[in-house]
Amino acid sequence: MSKQKSIVLFVLALLGTAFMVYVCIFGVNYKGMNKGRVGNIALGLDLNGGVSVTFEVVGDVPEEEVLNDTVYKLKLRADASFPGVDADVYKEGDNRINVEIPDADDEEAVLESLGNPGSLEFITEYEGENEKVWLTGADVVSAKAATVTDGSYDTPYVVNMTFTEEGQKKFADATEYASKQLDSRVYIVYNGEVKSAPRASERIDSNTAVVTGMADMDEAKLLADNISIGSIDIELKVLASKVVGAKLGEDAISTSLKAGLIGTILVMIFMTIVFRVPGFASAIALVAYIAMEMLAINGFNWSLTLPGIAGIILSIGMAVDANVVIFARIKEELAAGNEVKESIRIGFKKATSAIVDGNITTMIAAIVLMSLGSGPVKGFAQTLAVGIVVSMISAMVVTRVLVYCLYYMGFNKVSMYGVAKERKPIDFVGKRKYFITASIVVIIIGLGSMFVNNAKNGNPLNFSVEFVGGVSTTVDFEENFTIEEFNDTVLKDIIEIKGDGDVLANAINGTNQYVFRTQELDEDVYNDIKAMLIDKYGAIEDSFETVDVSSTISGEMIKSAITAVLVSVVCILIYIAFRFSKFTFGIGSVAALIHDILIVIGFYSLSWITVGNTFIACILTILGYSINATIVVFDRIREYLPKEDEDDEDEYARPGVPAKKKVIEVVDIKEVTNKSITQTLTRTLYSSFTTLITIVILYFLGVQSIKEFALPLIVGILAGGYSSVCIAGNLWYMMSKKKYDVK
């Protein structure tokens, strides 16, 4: 490439990056709409508020199990009606349910989308002499609109229904009966109105069924919505609806943005100082990466919550990590005596396997979490998945182009790239007993404290009101506060009296009313809070209303999160075992993951930090970060291991005896392990440092809820770096040393 072409390409890359940044800040006009601007990204209830709807049961108070099932189905209904957002649905008292829709400000539109929960029936010979109800909404698990493009039906728009086990039997009987009648239709009736009347030509004995004949997708969605909301077993009426403010306030957004900006600038400076010309290229690529990720999140219309921000932070760390791996390789090649251009080529080539494997394992986790998870789990996985794809493009394409452009522009001296210093291998393997013992002791202390907490406080961890429910208090004030003012003054005083930060608060827009949710309060504590609010902040004494509320993190959400994590770990284990051709690598990686997660959980227990919505995000972040660091170490070990050859075919081999056998070269894997960990140590330290920068700043600048998220995350990243260096490699060594006949 000529110098002139490289200059032109470099300038075009700068202009492209500048354009993406411009779109993120100001947006572009498209068909009269402002598109792309970061400010247009939908935000969750924790960051931007939304609409809250309270439903009340019509008639007698239902059994708790029935109400819990209704909460679950309303959650599914809300998620289907408002895709991309994470709605909160929880019980209030023993006959009410609250549904909170993030980033919404139109109560009527929300009510129209949610629909009015009513009765759903599947009827044959409707309004005839032999009319019969075969199924009700209780027999339906789900209904979803879909498009079928294989030409099977007259129109491509359908509704896929899934039945319960009992519902399957009833539907089979209904279709068999209908198929033998002159009127072969099975009428789907919602609140006394026929919504669809598909024909049945035969008995359909399956837990799924397809309703065809929809004119368009809107009609299909409407029918699916009616079936979904009609599957609720009890009748509900709308008691109240209101627009509520953000739980965390604008301070949470501004401090997160400020921390992100400061952290990014510091990372850019750090990369430029440490890696020089390639570091400068990566600084530009990092800006392009962040802009691309924001545009992608905006384009998918995803709602951004605090767990989503965690996914972005992790993916930024991974984007920088990929560059660190590449540049460290370039330095090593220069130290080996290669020319700068050749070192760049080899550096990118040798780093590719570690980067690809690290990103694929994290992507596996993201895909599983998106498929099986819900709520904050899915929000985290979505932003993480986008970040992984964009970071790969940033590191392997954008950074590569910029580095080569700078090289051809004249930045081609060895001193501009740096040369790796020769380091004597550190005996990590020889100290493995100390490392493993230290980890076991720390884990035992952490987990042991959970038993102490359980005996002392009734819970092993400090579960927040989001997990265990509590009390919601609504109060009117004589004057109006912004949510920021409320958080900075009123909420701080409530927390001081209560003794911990487990308080969720938001304002009811257009009023002087505020709502704060806490765990069940001791009567004296509640009276102290009430007196303080009246005397200090002018709360109206007669306005205090309290009601019991359930958790916003449902048992189904917790179950899906645990299932998703377990499936992710198994998939990662299988992938690494396959990719590295040795199961021991997979076991070492998973063991390191479990090590890090246990340390973080132990920290939550010892510090008694509130375990709330961000706890799930924190654990998932550690899951994604730790595996990436471990794979870099294992990739280097794999590089130094001898290849397994096969003997020449034995022409005299007896029948039934293999003609070939594996021959494994004897190698000192203690030396290989120590050498590999030592050579990747700088990368691990640099990556941990660059990832920690933003999170540490976030901790010092953030509001209380941000701090309670950032601090365990800091511990987790430190644990992840430690396990990658001191635990994973040693575990692999202990499982593999006999195979290579090392004495």
Give DSSP secondary structure letters for 491-543. HHHHHHHHSSS--EEEEBTTSSEEEEEESPPPHHHHHHHHHHHHHHH-B-GGG
Contacts of 66 (CB under 8 A, 6+ apart): 233, 234
Per DSSP, the three-state class of 56 is strand
Distance CA 685, CA 721 (A): 7
pLDDT of residue 80: 67
Q: Percentage of residues in the chain with pLDDT exceeding 70?
A: 87
CA angle, corner 460, sides to 458 and 461, nearest 5? Answer: 110
Q: How confident is the model at residue 401 (pLDDT cuts 50, 70, 90)?
A: very high
Q: How confident is the model at residue 410 (pLDDT cuts 50, 70, 90)?
A: very high
Distance CA 377, CA 288 (A): 27
Distance CA 142, CA 137 (A): 10
Q: Are strands 504-507 and 33-35 parallel, antiparallel or unpaired?
A: unpaired
Per-residue pLDDT for 496 more than 70? Answer: yes
Within 10 angstroms of residue 489's Cβ, the number of other Cβ atoms is 13
Q: Are strands 132-136 and 140-147 parallel, antiparallel or unpaired?
A: unpaired
Buried b (16+ CB within 10 A) or exposed e, 351-378: bbbbbbbbbbbbbbbbbbbbebbbbbbb
Q: The tokens 């227990």 sit on which residue?
A: 605
Per DSSP, the three-state class of 428 is coil
| H or E, element range at 193 | strand 193-196
Contact 109, 94 (CB under 8 A): no
Per-residue pLDDT for 646 more than 50? Answer: no
Per-residue pLDDT for 549 more than 70? Answer: yes
The secondary structure of residue 730, as a DSSP letter, is H
Contact 240, 54 (CB under 8 A): yes
Distance CA 321, CA 402 (A): 17
**What is the number of alpha carbons within 13 Å of residue 371 lying toward its C-beta?**
11
Per DSSP, the three-state class of 703 is coil
Contact 247, 502 (CB under 8 A): no
Contact 446, 606 (CB under 8 A): yes
pLDDT of residue 743: 47
pLDDT of residue 647: 46
The secondary structure of residue 160, as a DSSP letter, is E
Closest listed residue to residue 691, CA positions, set 611, 645, 601, 629: 629
Residue type, 548: D
Q: What is the mean pLDDT of residues 97-110?
A: 80
Beta strands in 107-156, from DSSP E residues, in sequence order? 120-124, 132-136, 140-147
Distance CA 289, CA 381 (A): 18
Q: Percentage of residues in the chain with pLDDT exceeding 90?
A: 31
Residue 465 or 233, more confident: 465
pLDDT of residue 652: 40
Closest listed residue to residue 126, CA positions, set 60, 183, 203, 173: 183
CA angle, corner 223, sides to 221 and 228, nearest 5? Answer: 90
Residue 246 or 688, more confident: 688
DSSP secondary structure string, 299-361? Answer: HTTPPB-HHHHHHHHHHHHHHHHHHHHHHHHHHHHHHTT--HHHHHHHHHHHHHHHHHHHHHH
Q: How confident is the model at residue 723 (pLDDT cuts 50, 70, 90)?
A: very high
Q: How confident is the model at residue 431 (pLDDT cuts 50, 70, 90)?
A: very high
Over the stretch 302-321, which tens digit does the pLDDT of each residue have?
767 766 676 676 667 767 88
pLDDT of residue 226: 75
C-alpha separations of 666 from 147, 260, 641, 663 in Å: 59, 49, 10, 9
- What region does 113 belong to: left with phi over 0, alpha with psi -120 to 50, or beta? alpha
Terminus-to-terminus CA distance in the chain, angstroms? Answer: 53
pLDDT of residue 650: 47
Per-residue pLDDT for 740 more than 90? Answer: no
Buried b (16+ CB within 10 A) or exposed e, 721-732: bbbbbbbbbbbb
Which residue ranges form the domains of the chain, and what is each CATH number? 45-116+240-244 (3.30.70.3400), 120-231 (3.30.1360.200), 470-549 (3.30.70.3400)
Q: What is the mean pLDDT of residues 408-412?
A: 94
What tokens does 616 get? 């799930």
Residue 574 or 87, more confident: 574
- Alpha carbon 520 to its chain centroid, in Å, reads 29
Distance CA 343, CA 335 (A): 9
pLDDT of residue 715: 93
Q: What is the mean pLDDT of residues 291-307?
A: 78
| H or E, element range at 435 | helix 432-457
Tell me what the pLDDT averaged over the chain comes to: 83
pLDDT of residue 398: 92
Contact 503, 516 (CB under 8 A): yes
Per-residue pLDDT for 665 more than 70? Answer: no
Over the stretch 129-167, which tens digit does the pLDDT of each residue have?
889 999 888 788 888 888 887 777 778 899 999 998 999
Contact 124, 198 (CB under 8 A): no
Q: Residues in the chain, how many?
A: 743
Q: What is the mean pLDDT of residues 613-632?
A: 78
Sheet holding 157-163, edge to edge: 140-147, 157-163, 208-214
C-alpha separations of 637 from 100, 633, 669 in Å: 51, 6, 9
Q: How confident is the model at residue 339 (pLDDT cuts 50, 70, 90)?
A: very high
Q: The tokens 């198994």 sit on which residue?
A: 570
Contacts of 555 (CB under 8 A, 6+ apart): 68
Distance CA 80, CA 300 (A): 15
pLDDT of residue 666: 60
Buried b (16+ CB within 10 A) or exposed e, 507-523: bbeeebbbbbbbbebee
Distance CA 55, CA 45 (A): 19
Over the stretch 364-380, which tens digit does the pLDDT of each residue have?
888 887 777 666 667 77
163 bridge partner residues? 140
Distance CA 87, CA 81 (A): 10
pLDDT of residue 241: 76
> pTM (2 decimals)?
0.74
- Alpha carbon 464 to its chain centroid, in Å, reads 19
Q: How confident is the model at residue 171 (pLDDT cuts 50, 70, 90)?
A: very high
Residue type, 393: I
What tokens does 695 get? 């999170």
Per-residue pLDDT for 404 more than 70? Answer: yes
What tokens does 609 get? 């930090």
Within 10 angstroms of residue 231's Cβ, the number of other Cβ atoms is 25
Residue type, 655: P
Buried b (16+ CB within 10 A) or exposed e, 33-72: eeebbbeebbbbbbbbbbbbbbbebeeeebeeeebbbbbb
Residue type, 130: N
- φ, ψ at 154 (rounded to 5°): -60, -40
pLDDT of residue 252: 65
Which of 390-399, 517-526, 554-563, 576-585 is least confident?
554-563
- φ, ψ at 705 (rounded to 5°): -65, -35
463 bridge partner residues? 611
Contacts of 664 (CB under 8 A, 6+ apart): 642, 644, 739, 740, 741
